[in-house]
Amino acid sequence: MRISASVPRSLLLAGAFIGVLSYGAVAQTASSAAPAAAQPLPPGSPMIGRPDNEAAQKLAPVAAPPIAAAADKLPMDKLKVPAGFNLEVYAAGMPNARSLALGDKGTVFVGSRTVDKVYAIVNKDGKREVKIIASGLYRPNGVAFKDGTLYIAELSKVSKIEKIEDNLDNPPKPTVIYDNLPKDEAHGWKFIAIGPDNKLYVPVGQPGNNVLHDKDHGQIRRINLDGSGAEVVAVGVRNTVGFDWNPETKQLYFTDNSRDWMSEDLPNDELNRVTKVGEHFGSPYCWQGNIPDPEFGWGHSCSEFTPPVGLMGPHAASLGMRFYTGKMFPQTFKNQAIIARHGSWNKTNKFGGDVVVAHLNKDGTVKNIEPIVTGFLQDNKYVGRPVDVMQMKDGSMLISDDWNGAVYRLSYGKAKVAAQ
C-alpha cells in the first residue's frame, strides 16, 4: 500500500512552494507583531464571547454515545422520582431517541437527530416492539401526528406519511409537504407540533450561537397540513425544541434556549408565551427579558420585546414541554407545564439533566419550578439526557433520552405496567 507515497510528497512540495510565495509578505508582519492577542472572531462565529482561559477550554458540546444502551444497562437506579411516582423503561434500543408523538392507535413515534431514523414503539398484546419506520432522513428530530398521518421534520423539510399506523411493517416513503426552509446546521433541527388551529408549527432557529440574521431565521412559523399558507407566528426566537398550547387559554407556550459564552450563570433559558401573532421575544438583542446582549443589545431596550413567563436556568437546554391534562398525577399537576431540561455543556458545573414541572400563576406566568425526575447528571457527567415529554392516554408521561436511546414511562400511584 505504498503506491501513493510519491503523490502526497509532490503535492506537499508544491503546497509548500505556493505557501512561501503567498505568505512571505504576511509572515514578516506576523513575526514582528506580538503573538499574544488573538484576532477578533469573524462575525457569527459560535465562539464569540468565549474567554481565552483554561476554564473555558474545558467546555465543549457534549455528544450522545451513538450506540443505544441495552434495556438492562439503563441508569434506572440513578433516576429519582418523588414519592408516589414510578419510573420504568418503556422501550430501549433506539439510538438518539428524541421527539415524541402519539398515534391514534397507541403507537409512539420517536424522532432522532444524530442518526437518520424515525422509530415506532408498537404496542401489541401488551408487548412493546420497536420498529424503524423511516431511515435515510437528515436529522429527523421532529414528529407530529394528526388524523392517521405522521408528520416528520428534517433539518430543512417537513414530510408526511399517511395511514402510518396501518402500514407500520412496510411504510411508504415520506412525501415532502414543505421545504421552503434554510439549511443551516446550527439550530436547524426541529421540534414540530400541531396546534388547536389544526396548523403545523415549525420553528427555524437562529443560525448560530449569537448572530444577527435575516427574516427567515429565529422564528416559529405555522403552515396548513398540506404545507400551504406559511405564516410567521413569533420572532426573536433563538432555538425552541419544545412547545405546547395551554389547555385553558389555548395560548402557545414554548421553551427557548438562550445564548452561550455570556457567563456561567446567565442568561437563563426562557419559557415564553405567544399572545399575539408576530410577537418578538428578544433574541439576539435581549435575554430573559432583562439582560441586553453585550454585543447586539446596544441601541435597544429590553422593553421592546416580550419577556418570558418563566426562567428555566442557565444553559439548561430546556427542550420538550407539554401541559399535563391527565387524571393520573396529583391534582396539582393539572394544566401545568412539564419540561425536560436536557442539561448544560457551556457551564463548569453542569446544570439541568432533569424533568421539572413549572407551576403557573392564574395569569399564566410561572410561579415555581419543581423537579420530578432527577439524576441524569451524576458527578458532573451525564448518565442520560431527557429530551421530550409526552402524555399517554392513561395519564402517564413518556420521557425520551437521547443519551441512552430509550423512552421511560413516568406513572403515579398504580402498579407498574408489565415488563417488556
Partner 1 sequence: MRQITTIMAAFAFASLASSAQAAETVEQRAATCFACHGEHGQSEMENTPSLGGQQSPYALIQLFMFREKLRTFDPMNDITKPFTDADLQNFADFIAKIPKPQPPAEAGDPARMQKGLALAQQHRCNSCHNADFSGKENIPRLANQREDYLNKTLAEYKDNSRHGYDGTMADVMGEVPKEQIADLAYYISHYR
Q: Give contact residues for partner 1 (rule: CB under 8 A).
A: 1-5, 7-8, 11-12, 15-16, 19-20, 23-24, 26-28, 30-31, 35, 38-47, 50, 52, 56-57, 59-63, 65-67, 113-116, 138, 183-186, 188, 208-209
Residue entry with cell 506537499: 12
Q: CB of 37: closest distance to partner 1 in angstroms?
A: 9
| Cβ nearer to partner 1, comparing 30 with 277 | 30
| Cβ nearer to partner 1, comparing 23 with 78 | 23
Q: How far apart are CA 386 and CA 339, in angstroms?
A: 9
Q: CB of 239: closest distance to partner 1 in angstroms?
A: 12
| Cβ nearer to partner 1, comparing 52 with 394 | 52
Q: CB of 108: closest distance to partner 1 in angstroms?
A: 22
For residue 20, the SS3 value is helix
Which grid cell is 213?
440574521
- The Cα-based distances of 220 to 61, 146, 162, 180, 223 in angstroms read 25, 20, 25, 13, 10
| Cβ nearer to partner 1, comparing 306 with 400 | 400
| Cβ nearer to partner 1, comparing 322 with 342 | 342
Compute, in degrees rounded to 10, the torsion defined by CA atoms 392, 395, 400, 405.
Answer: -70
Strands (DSSP E) found in 108-148: 108-112, 118-124, 127-134, 142-146
Residue entry with cell 414543505: 178
Which grid cell is 226?
398540506
Q: CB of 298: closest distance to partner 1 in angstroms?
A: 21
Q: CB of 414: closest distance to partner 1 in angstroms?
A: 35
| Cβ nearer to partner 1, comparing 23 with 84 | 23
Which grid cell is 83?
414519592
Q: CB of 230: closest distance to partner 1 in angstroms?
A: 24
| Cβ nearer to partner 1, comparing 44 with 75 | 44
* Pair 115, 137: CB distance under 8 Å: no
Q: CB of 352: closest distance to partner 1 in angstroms?
A: 18
- Please list, in sequence order, all residues whose beta carbon lies within 8 angstroms of the beta carbon of residue 46, skipping any fewer than 6 positions away: 186, 208, 209, 260
For residue 419, the SS3 value is coil
φ and ψ at 326, to 5 degrees? -80, 180
Q: How far apart are CA 320 and CA 244, in angstroms?
A: 9
